[in-house]
A and B are shown apart, each in its own frame.
Chain A
């Protein structure tokens, strides 16, 4: 078999795997939705447990404040619960929840931080938000304490740099790089065109590049 054939086979296998995973996710999602619509509170708790971390993380990246992120995440889930009856399933559950979370975070940002000119993320906060245990980090890598401190500092500065980027670009960049969404998913979540998604990601990356250049 030639290398070209191998590559084609690999592509086909990957595509099939992706399709099967998606079908499985869709099946699971449909089951959860029907339980949710029946008013099954345990189904809602499952949904919260599945999405609370990504939603909180997204809100934190967008708002840069742990307390506000918690409020935004809480409000997001309450809106999800209230909106379940209206959810038609035209978009995926994840897309819908992320859309609510982003709108919530953006509204909070506009309302409560309008007067705050410097929308930077505190270094102390980003440093303090990490919950990895020292043991876990040590066992996962052979980093020395000095190296860990440097890595922690570097990460804090990257997150702080993200916080300085214009909100629209920050949202697109967060969805792309941290939430690992495709361009199509981002367009659907934000309700914007693919062209706008590409442009926001490109501008966001360029801003991030300039802000973290000294760390490279």
Chain B
């Protein structure tokens, strides 16, 4: 027997797993070859070192963890979500990872497409809200109404204020923020009603916007989002708010 052949079956020889003939050949070879004798001796010492290692105690909390988890399962405390996770865990991890990756890619792609979608523009304005002109008043009138002292230092030049008044639909308009007549006037203010379930609809456009597409964009945005209504005594109630829309150049 050659040394190479012996080494290939030395492990089985050690375990007594060889047939009588092969085992006999091995015994003869070991008796003659000191290198293979050392080799099989080293194998035996290495395995006996491993055999002698201590079997570690399991952590004390392990059994109670297991029994608690099983008990919850038996008593039906386990949620549908947990059952789904368990079901996932039973599947081939590779398949799950591929599927998750594909799903994530699809979601991210969808989000990208959704963000890149152009806001509908052109065509007839799908808005039924009326447009109420802003009634602008002077600094003095505004301050007087709000019982504020006129500020002599701040000139009212370039300022104009929406004056408080009641609209035809009963809404009270009383705010001043749209007062600044901005250069270009690329914005609008709108009266929006938020219903208790969070849906919003345009009630009125306050002032004629210089860019009519803004109304469409606002209308589209309102239809695609939910809003927080006011709460009175713990109950959501229909709420009218004034939304200010200003165009900004996000492209820099």
Give me the interface of A with B, judged by CB distance under 8 Å: 39, 41, 44-45, 48-49, 52-57, 60, 66, 70, 73-74, 77-78, 81-82, 107, 110-111, 129-132, 154-155, 158-159, 162, 173, 177-178, 183, 198, 201-202, 205-206, 208-209, 212-213, 215-216
The 8 closest A-B pairs by CB, nearest first: A202-B11, A56-B58, A131-B57, A209-B46, A177-B50, A77-B66, A129-B56, A52-B58
Query: With a CB–CB cut-off of 8 A, which chain A residues contact B9?
Result: 202
A56 proximity list for chain B (CB < 8 A): 56, 58-59, 62
Once the chains are docked, how many angstroms separate the CA of A124 from the CA of B167?
80
Q: Encode contact with A along B3-22: 1 for CB under 8 Å, 0 otherwise.
A: 00000111110110100000
Known: A45-B67, A202-B8. A57 touches B50 (CB 8 A): no
Q: Given contacts A81-B70, A162-B50, A208-B50, are A48 and B63 in contact (CB under 8 A)?
A: yes
Per-residue CB contact flags for chain B residues 27-50 toward chain A (1 = under 8 Å, else 0) read 000000000000000110111011
Q: How many interface contacts (CB-CB < 8 Å) are there between A and B?
A: 110
A158 with B50, Cβ < 8 A, contacts A202-B11, A205-B43 known: yes
User: What is the minimal beta-carbon distance from B228 to any residue of chain A, in angstroms?
Assistant: 42
Residue of A nearest to B86 (CB): A82
User: Cβ of B51: which chain A residues have Cβ within 8 Å of it?
Assistant: 177-178
A205-B63 contact given A41-B70, A53-B57, CB 8 Å threshold: no
Residue in chain A with minimal CB distance to B53: A155
Q: Which residues of chain B are near A45, meaning CB under 8 Å?
A: 63, 67
In the complex where A78-B70, A82-B86 touch, is A73 in contact with B62 (Cβ < 8 A)? yes
In Å, the complex CA distance between A177 and B52 comes to 9
Asked whether, in the complex, the Cβ of A205 is within 8 Å of the Cβ of B54, the reply is no
A173 in complex: contacting residue of B50, B59, B65, B74, CB < 8 Å: B50
CB <8 Å contact, A198 and B12: yes
Counting CB contacts under 8 A, is B225 at the interface? no
Q: Taking the nearest CB of chain A, how far is it from the CB of B66, in angstroms?
A: 5
List, in ascending order, chain B residues with CB within 8 A of A212's CB.
Answer: 46, 49
A41 touches B74 (CB 8 A): yes
- B69 contacts A by Cβ under 8 Å: yes
User: A130 to nearest B CB, angstroms?
Assistant: 5
- Identify the closest chain A residue to B52 (Cβ): A155
Contacts of A82 in B (CB 8 A): 73, 86
How far does the alpha carbon of A110 sit from the alpha carbon of B49 in the complex, in Å?
Answer: 28
B24 part of interface (Cβ distance < 8 Å): no
Partner of A49, one of B10, B42, B59, B63: B63
What are 24 of the A-B contact pairs (CB < 8 Å)?
Answer: A45-B63, A48-B67, A52-B66, A53-B57, A53-B58, A55-B58, A60-B56, A77-B66, A111-B93, A131-B57, A132-B54, A155-B52, A177-B50, A178-B51, A178-B55, A202-B8, A202-B9, A202-B12, A205-B11, A205-B47, A206-B43, A209-B46, A212-B46, A215-B49
Shortest distance in angstroms between A18's beta carbon and chain B's nearest beta carbon? Answer: 15
Q: Does B71 contact A (CB under 8 A)?
A: yes
On whether the beta carbons of A41 and B69 are closer than 8 Å, the reply is: no
Report A53 CB to chain B, min CB distance, Å: 5
Residues on B with C-beta less than 8 A from A77 are: 66, 70
The answer to whether A70 touches B62 (Cβ under 8 A) is yes
Chain B contacts for A159, CB-based, 8 A: 53
Q: In the complex, which of the residues A41, A49, A178, A206 contacts B53, with contact meaning CB atoms closer than 8 Å?
A: A178
- Tell whether, in the assembled complex, residue B66 and residue A208 are in contact, meaning their CB atoms are under 8 Å apart: no
Are B63's CB and A183's CB within 8 A? no
Once bound together, how far apart are the Cα atoms of A209 and B43, in whole Å?
Answer: 6
Asked whether B58 lies within 8 Å of A130 as measured between CB atoms, the reply is no
Distance in angstroms from B170 CB to nearest chain A CB is 63
Q: Which residue of B lies closest to A82 (CB)?
A: B86
Could you say which of A162, A173, A216 contacts B42, with CB atoms under 8 Å apart? A216
Give bound CA distance, A22 to B54, whole Å.
26
- Report A-chain residues with C-beta under 8 Å of the C-beta of B45: 216
CA A73 to CA B69, docked complex, whole Å:
13
